[in-house]
Amino acid sequence: MKHIFIVNPSAGKGKNKAVNIIKPLIENFFANYDEYYEIHETTAPYEGIDFVKNYPVDDETVRFYACGGDGTLFEVVNGAYGKENVEVAVIPLGSGNDFIRLFGKKENLIDIEAQVKGTPIKLDLIKCLGKIAINQCSMGLDAEICASQAKFKKIPFLNGEAAYTAALLYSFIGKMKSIFTVQFDDKEPFTLPTLFCYCGNSRWYGGGYMAGPHAMPDDGLLDFVHVKKNMPRIKLLGLINKYKRGEHLSWDITTFERGKKLYIHSDKPAAVNIDGECEYVTDCTFEIIEKGISFVVPSTSWYFEKVANGDICDSKPMK
Protein backbone atom coordinates (compact mmCIF):
# COMPACT_ATOMS: atom_id res chain seq x y z
CA MET A 1 0.00 0.00 0.00
CA LYS A 2 1.06 3.56 -0.67
CA HIS A 3 0.37 6.21 1.96
CA ILE A 4 -0.01 9.74 0.59
CA PHE A 5 -0.43 12.56 3.10
CA ILE A 6 -2.13 15.69 1.73
CA VAL A 7 -1.21 18.48 4.15
CA ASN A 8 -2.82 21.92 4.10
CA PRO A 9 -0.20 24.37 5.45
CA SER A 10 -2.92 26.90 6.26
CA ALA A 11 -5.04 24.56 8.38
CA GLY A 12 -5.56 25.41 12.04
CA LYS A 13 -5.32 29.19 11.56
CA GLY A 14 -1.55 29.24 11.30
CA LYS A 15 0.98 29.33 8.47
CA ASN A 16 2.64 25.89 8.37
CA LYS A 17 1.10 24.95 11.74
CA ALA A 18 -0.36 21.75 10.32
CA VAL A 19 2.92 20.87 8.62
CA ASN A 20 4.92 21.41 11.81
CA ILE A 21 2.56 19.18 13.77
CA ILE A 22 2.12 16.26 11.42
CA LYS A 23 5.31 16.00 9.37
CA PRO A 24 7.57 14.82 12.24
CA LEU A 25 4.93 12.28 13.32
CA ILE A 26 4.73 10.84 9.80
CA GLU A 27 8.51 10.68 9.35
CA ASN A 28 9.09 9.09 12.77
CA PHE A 29 6.48 6.39 12.17
CA PHE A 30 7.63 5.43 8.68
CA ALA A 31 11.27 5.29 9.79
CA ASN A 32 10.29 1.90 11.25
CA TYR A 33 7.45 0.92 8.91
CA ASP A 34 8.32 -0.62 5.59
CA GLU A 35 5.74 0.85 3.22
CA TYR A 36 5.91 3.72 0.78
CA TYR A 37 4.82 7.15 1.97
CA GLU A 38 4.77 10.63 0.54
CA ILE A 39 3.94 14.06 1.97
CA HIS A 40 2.35 16.61 -0.34
CA GLU A 41 1.82 20.16 0.90
CA THR A 42 -0.96 21.89 -1.00
CA THR A 43 0.09 25.12 -2.68
CA ALA A 44 -3.26 26.82 -3.38
CA PRO A 45 -6.98 26.36 -2.73
CA TYR A 46 -8.31 23.26 -4.57
CA GLU A 47 -4.83 22.20 -5.70
CA GLY A 48 -5.33 19.09 -3.59
CA ILE A 49 -8.21 18.00 -5.83
CA ASP A 50 -6.01 17.95 -8.93
CA PHE A 51 -3.12 16.28 -7.11
CA VAL A 52 -5.26 13.40 -5.88
CA LYS A 53 -7.22 13.09 -9.12
CA ASN A 54 -4.04 12.89 -11.21
CA TYR A 55 -2.07 10.66 -8.83
CA PRO A 56 -1.24 7.39 -10.65
CA VAL A 57 -3.04 4.35 -9.23
CA ASP A 58 -2.61 0.76 -10.44
CA ASP A 59 -3.34 -2.54 -8.71
CA GLU A 60 -1.75 -1.37 -5.46
CA THR A 61 -4.04 0.39 -2.97
CA VAL A 62 -3.34 4.08 -2.46
CA ARG A 63 -4.54 5.69 0.76
CA PHE A 64 -4.84 9.47 0.80
CA TYR A 65 -4.77 11.14 4.21
CA ALA A 66 -6.48 14.54 4.41
CA CYS A 67 -4.30 16.41 6.92
CA GLY A 68 -6.17 19.61 7.69
CA GLY A 69 -9.76 20.60 8.27
CA ASP A 70 -13.04 19.90 6.50
CA GLY A 71 -11.87 21.88 3.47
CA THR A 72 -8.88 19.58 3.02
CA LEU A 73 -11.17 16.57 3.29
CA PHE A 74 -13.43 18.11 0.62
CA GLU A 75 -10.45 18.36 -1.74
CA VAL A 76 -9.25 14.81 -1.12
CA VAL A 77 -12.75 13.33 -1.50
CA ASN A 78 -13.38 15.21 -4.75
CA GLY A 79 -10.04 14.08 -6.12
CA ALA A 80 -10.46 10.47 -4.99
CA TYR A 81 -14.09 9.94 -6.03
CA GLY A 82 -14.39 7.53 -8.94
CA LYS A 83 -10.86 6.14 -8.67
CA GLU A 84 -10.34 2.42 -8.13
CA ASN A 85 -8.09 1.04 -5.35
CA VAL A 86 -8.22 4.30 -3.41
CA GLU A 87 -9.00 4.94 0.26
CA VAL A 88 -9.47 8.21 2.14
CA ALA A 89 -8.46 8.92 5.73
CA VAL A 90 -8.62 12.08 7.85
CA ILE A 91 -6.04 13.47 10.24
CA PRO A 92 -7.92 16.41 11.83
CA LEU A 93 -5.75 19.53 11.99
CA GLY A 94 -8.33 22.22 11.19
CA SER A 95 -10.40 24.52 13.36
CA GLY A 96 -13.74 22.77 12.76
CA ASN A 97 -13.17 19.10 11.89
CA ASP A 98 -16.90 18.41 11.86
CA PHE A 99 -17.01 15.20 9.85
CA ILE A 100 -14.71 13.24 12.17
CA ARG A 101 -16.78 14.01 15.30
CA LEU A 102 -18.71 10.80 14.66
CA PHE A 103 -15.47 8.80 14.80
CA GLY A 104 -13.66 10.17 17.84
CA LYS A 105 -11.96 13.09 19.50
CA LYS A 106 -9.41 15.08 17.54
CA GLU A 107 -6.53 14.23 19.89
CA ASN A 108 -7.16 10.49 19.47
CA LEU A 109 -7.19 10.66 15.69
CA ILE A 110 -3.89 12.54 15.27
CA ASP A 111 -2.10 9.21 15.55
CA ILE A 112 -0.21 7.95 12.51
CA GLU A 113 -0.08 4.31 13.61
CA ALA A 114 -3.84 4.32 14.31
CA GLN A 115 -4.50 5.80 10.88
CA VAL A 116 -2.19 3.41 9.00
CA LYS A 117 -3.65 0.41 10.84
CA GLY A 118 -7.23 1.61 10.50
CA THR A 119 -10.13 -0.25 8.91
CA PRO A 120 -11.65 0.89 5.59
CA ILE A 121 -15.45 0.96 5.32
CA LYS A 122 -17.75 2.07 2.54
CA LEU A 123 -19.50 5.40 3.12
CA ASP A 124 -22.18 7.23 1.16
CA LEU A 125 -21.59 10.58 -0.53
CA ILE A 126 -23.73 13.49 -1.76
CA LYS A 127 -23.57 14.81 -5.32
CA CYS A 128 -24.49 18.44 -5.99
CA LEU A 129 -23.65 20.78 -8.89
CA GLY A 130 -20.86 18.49 -10.05
CA LYS A 131 -19.22 18.48 -6.61
CA ILE A 132 -19.01 15.69 -4.03
CA ALA A 133 -19.78 16.13 -0.33
CA ILE A 134 -19.06 13.55 2.33
CA ASN A 135 -20.65 15.46 5.21
CA GLN A 136 -23.54 17.77 4.29
CA CYS A 137 -25.17 20.21 1.87
CA SER A 138 -27.68 22.97 2.52
CA MET A 139 -29.47 26.10 1.36
CA GLY A 140 -30.99 28.96 3.33
CA LEU A 141 -29.74 30.81 6.38
CA ASP A 142 -27.06 28.26 7.23
CA ALA A 143 -25.64 28.38 3.70
CA GLU A 144 -25.59 32.19 3.88
CA ILE A 145 -23.76 31.83 7.19
CA CYS A 146 -21.27 29.46 5.58
CA ALA A 147 -20.67 31.98 2.80
CA SER A 148 -19.92 34.63 5.47
CA GLN A 149 -17.95 32.37 7.82
CA ALA A 150 -14.75 32.56 5.77
CA LYS A 151 -14.57 36.29 6.49
CA PHE A 152 -14.87 35.77 10.23
CA LYS A 153 -12.28 32.98 10.28
CA LYS A 154 -9.70 35.60 9.30
CA ILE A 155 -10.25 37.41 12.60
CA PRO A 156 -7.65 36.35 15.22
CA PHE A 157 -8.89 34.07 18.01
CA LEU A 158 -12.11 33.11 16.21
CA ASN A 159 -12.01 29.33 15.78
CA GLY A 160 -14.42 27.27 13.66
CA GLU A 161 -17.33 27.34 16.14
CA ALA A 162 -16.86 31.00 17.14
CA ALA A 163 -16.51 32.09 13.52
CA TYR A 164 -19.70 30.21 12.64
CA THR A 165 -21.60 31.81 15.53
CA ALA A 166 -20.37 35.29 14.54
CA ALA A 167 -21.44 34.66 10.93
CA LEU A 168 -24.80 33.36 12.18
CA LEU A 169 -25.51 36.55 14.13
CA TYR A 170 -24.39 38.67 11.18
CA SER A 171 -26.61 36.77 8.76
CA PHE A 172 -29.65 37.19 11.02
CA ILE A 173 -29.65 40.87 10.03
CA GLY A 174 -30.55 40.41 6.38
CA LYS A 175 -30.40 36.80 5.15
CA MET A 176 -33.75 35.47 6.31
CA LYS A 177 -36.14 36.07 3.42
CA SER A 178 -35.75 32.88 1.40
CA ILE A 179 -38.78 31.35 -0.28
CA PHE A 180 -37.92 27.88 -1.54
CA THR A 181 -39.78 25.22 -3.47
CA VAL A 182 -38.65 21.92 -1.94
CA GLN A 183 -39.14 18.34 -3.09
CA PHE A 184 -38.08 15.21 -1.19
CA ASP A 185 -37.48 12.35 -3.66
CA ASP A 186 -40.58 12.08 -5.88
CA LYS A 187 -43.04 13.44 -3.33
CA GLU A 188 -45.24 16.48 -3.90
CA PRO A 189 -43.16 19.69 -3.87
CA PHE A 190 -44.07 22.51 -1.47
CA THR A 191 -43.26 26.23 -1.46
CA LEU A 192 -42.67 28.00 1.87
CA PRO A 193 -40.71 30.82 3.50
CA THR A 194 -37.65 28.90 4.58
CA LEU A 195 -35.13 29.40 7.36
CA PHE A 196 -32.91 26.61 6.05
CA CYS A 197 -33.01 23.27 4.27
CA TYR A 198 -30.33 20.73 5.20
CA CYS A 199 -29.20 17.48 3.60
CA GLY A 200 -27.02 15.41 5.89
CA ASN A 201 -24.83 12.38 5.31
CA SER A 202 -23.34 12.93 8.77
CA ARG A 203 -24.26 15.10 11.74
CA TRP A 204 -22.25 18.26 12.42
CA TYR A 205 -21.16 21.38 10.59
CA GLY A 206 -20.15 24.95 11.41
CA GLY A 207 -17.69 23.87 14.10
CA GLY A 208 -20.05 21.77 16.20
CA TYR A 209 -23.68 22.48 15.22
CA MET A 210 -25.60 19.18 15.15
CA ALA A 211 -27.84 19.88 12.16
CA GLY A 212 -28.41 16.20 11.31
CA PRO A 213 -28.62 14.53 14.74
CA HIS A 214 -29.69 11.12 13.39
CA ALA A 215 -27.66 10.96 10.16
CA MET A 216 -25.52 7.87 9.49
CA PRO A 217 -22.95 8.01 6.67
CA ASP A 218 -23.30 4.35 5.71
CA ASP A 219 -27.07 3.66 5.78
CA GLY A 220 -27.89 4.37 2.13
CA LEU A 221 -30.09 7.34 3.06
CA LEU A 222 -29.72 11.11 3.43
CA ASP A 223 -31.34 13.04 6.27
CA PHE A 224 -33.43 16.01 5.07
CA VAL A 225 -34.32 18.83 7.47
CA HIS A 226 -36.54 21.74 6.40
CA VAL A 227 -37.16 24.55 8.90
CA LYS A 228 -39.93 27.00 8.06
CA LYS A 229 -39.54 30.74 8.71
CA ASN A 230 -42.64 31.88 10.60
CA MET A 231 -41.40 33.75 13.66
CA PRO A 232 -39.51 37.00 14.38
CA ARG A 233 -35.72 37.15 14.55
CA ILE A 234 -35.62 37.74 18.29
CA LYS A 235 -37.46 34.47 18.98
CA LEU A 236 -35.25 32.54 16.57
CA LEU A 237 -32.14 33.80 18.38
CA GLY A 238 -33.40 32.02 21.47
CA LEU A 239 -33.42 28.72 19.58
CA ILE A 240 -29.76 28.76 18.50
CA ASN A 241 -28.41 26.68 21.39
CA LYS A 242 -31.17 24.10 20.97
CA TYR A 243 -30.32 23.88 17.28
CA LYS A 244 -26.65 23.45 18.12
CA ARG A 245 -27.52 20.52 20.41
CA GLY A 246 -29.62 18.86 17.69
CA GLU A 247 -32.98 19.51 19.37
CA HIS A 248 -34.66 21.17 16.38
CA LEU A 249 -36.31 18.10 14.85
CA SER A 250 -39.18 18.36 17.34
CA TRP A 251 -40.03 21.98 16.49
CA ASP A 252 -43.41 22.53 14.86
CA ILE A 253 -41.64 24.52 12.13
CA THR A 254 -39.41 21.54 11.22
CA THR A 255 -39.98 18.80 8.66
CA PHE A 256 -37.64 15.80 8.92
CA GLU A 257 -37.45 13.01 6.35
CA ARG A 258 -34.98 10.49 4.98
CA GLY A 259 -34.47 9.80 1.31
CA LYS A 260 -32.22 9.67 -1.72
CA LYS A 261 -32.70 13.06 -3.37
CA LEU A 262 -33.61 16.62 -2.40
CA TYR A 263 -34.46 19.33 -4.93
CA ILE A 264 -34.61 23.06 -4.07
CA HIS A 265 -35.67 26.00 -6.24
CA SER A 266 -35.33 29.69 -5.37
CA ASP A 267 -36.61 32.48 -7.61
CA LYS A 268 -33.64 34.60 -6.51
CA PRO A 269 -30.04 33.34 -6.40
CA ALA A 270 -29.35 31.85 -2.96
CA ALA A 271 -26.26 30.41 -1.32
CA VAL A 272 -25.73 26.66 -1.51
CA ASN A 273 -23.29 25.04 0.89
CA ILE A 274 -21.48 21.88 -0.27
CA ASP A 275 -19.24 20.75 2.59
CA GLY A 276 -18.29 24.35 3.26
CA GLU A 277 -17.84 25.34 -0.38
CA CYS A 278 -20.42 27.99 -1.30
CA GLU A 279 -21.87 29.44 -4.49
CA TYR A 280 -25.12 31.12 -5.51
CA VAL A 281 -27.78 29.28 -7.51
CA THR A 282 -31.52 29.23 -8.21
CA ASP A 283 -31.83 25.44 -8.57
CA CYS A 284 -29.91 22.54 -7.09
CA THR A 285 -30.30 18.86 -6.33
CA PHE A 286 -28.63 16.92 -3.52
CA GLU A 287 -28.46 13.25 -4.45
CA ILE A 288 -26.96 10.27 -2.66
CA ILE A 289 -24.11 8.18 -4.03
CA GLU A 290 -24.41 4.95 -2.09
CA LYS A 291 -21.13 3.43 -0.88
CA GLY A 292 -19.28 6.02 -2.92
CA ILE A 293 -15.95 5.97 -1.12
CA SER A 294 -13.72 3.80 1.06
CA PHE A 295 -13.14 5.67 4.31
CA VAL A 296 -10.56 4.59 6.89
CA VAL A 297 -11.71 4.36 10.51
CA PRO A 298 -8.58 4.69 12.71
CA SER A 299 -7.84 1.96 15.23
CA THR A 300 -8.26 4.51 18.05
CA SER A 301 -11.79 5.41 16.90
CA TRP A 302 -14.80 4.66 19.04
CA TYR A 303 -17.03 4.23 15.97
CA PHE A 304 -17.35 0.44 15.77
CA GLU A 305 -17.82 0.04 19.54
CA LYS A 306 -20.42 2.78 19.78
CA VAL A 307 -22.33 1.41 16.77
CA ALA A 308 -22.33 -2.08 18.31
CA ASN A 309 -23.58 -0.66 21.62
CA GLY A 310 -26.28 1.42 19.95
CA ASP A 311 -24.71 4.72 21.06
CA ILE A 312 -24.36 5.71 17.41
CA CYS A 313 -27.52 4.89 15.47
CA ASP A 314 -30.15 6.56 13.33
CA SER A 315 -32.67 6.86 16.17
CA LYS A 316 -30.81 9.18 18.56
CA PRO A 317 -28.18 11.95 18.63
CA MET A 318 -24.72 11.40 20.07
CA LYS A 319 -24.15 12.94 23.48
Residue 47 has pLDDT above 90, yes or no: yes
Q: What pLDDT is recorded for position 147?
A: 79
pLDDT exceeding 90 applies to what percent of the chain? 74
**Virtual torsion, Cα 160, 166, 169, 175, nearest 10 deg:** -70
Residue 15 has pLDDT above 70, yes or no: no
Q: What pLDDT is recorded for position 174?
A: 62
Q: What pLDDT is recorded for position 21?
A: 87
Q: For the chain, what is the domain count?
A: 2
Q: How confident is the model at residue 156 (pLDDT cuts 50, 70, 90)?
A: low
3-state secondary structure 176-230: CCEEEEEEECCCCCEEEEEEEEEEECCCEECCCEECCCCCCCCCCCEEEEEEECC
Q: What is the mean pLDDT of residues 130-138?
A: 97
Q: Which domain holds residue 21?
A: 2-118+298-309
Residue 151 has pLDDT above 80, yes or no: no
Which residue type sits at 235? K
Residue ranges of E strands in 99-148: 119-128, 131-133, 136-140
Do 46 and 144 fall into the same domain? no
Q: What is the mean pLDDT of residues 253-272?
A: 96
Do 139 and 32 fall into the same domain? no
Report yes or no on 319 lying in a domain: no
Q: How confident is the model at residue 141 (pLDDT cuts 50, 70, 90)?
A: confident
74 burial level (CB within 10 Å; 0-12, 13-18, 19+): buried
Report yes or no on 29 lying in a domain: yes
Report yes or no on 220 lying in a domain: yes
Q: What pLDDT is recorded for position 96?
A: 79
Q: What is the mean pLDDT of residues 78-84?
A: 97
The answer to whether 88 and 94 are in contact (CB under 8 A) is no
Residue 118 has pLDDT above 90, yes or no: yes
Do 24 and 139 fall into the same domain? no
Do 82 and 226 fall into the same domain? no
Q: Residue 29's domain is classified under what CATH number?
A: 3.40.50.10330
d(CA 39, CA 276): 25
Do 65 and 141 fall into the same domain? no
Q: Residue 150's domain is classified under what CATH number?
A: 2.60.200.40
Whole-prediction pTM: 0.91
Do 37 and 143 fall into the same domain? no
* Higher-pLDDT residue of 21, 263: 263
Kindly report which listed range (67-76, 137-146, 265-274) carries the lowest average pLDDT score. Answer: 137-146
d(CA 216, CA 315): 10
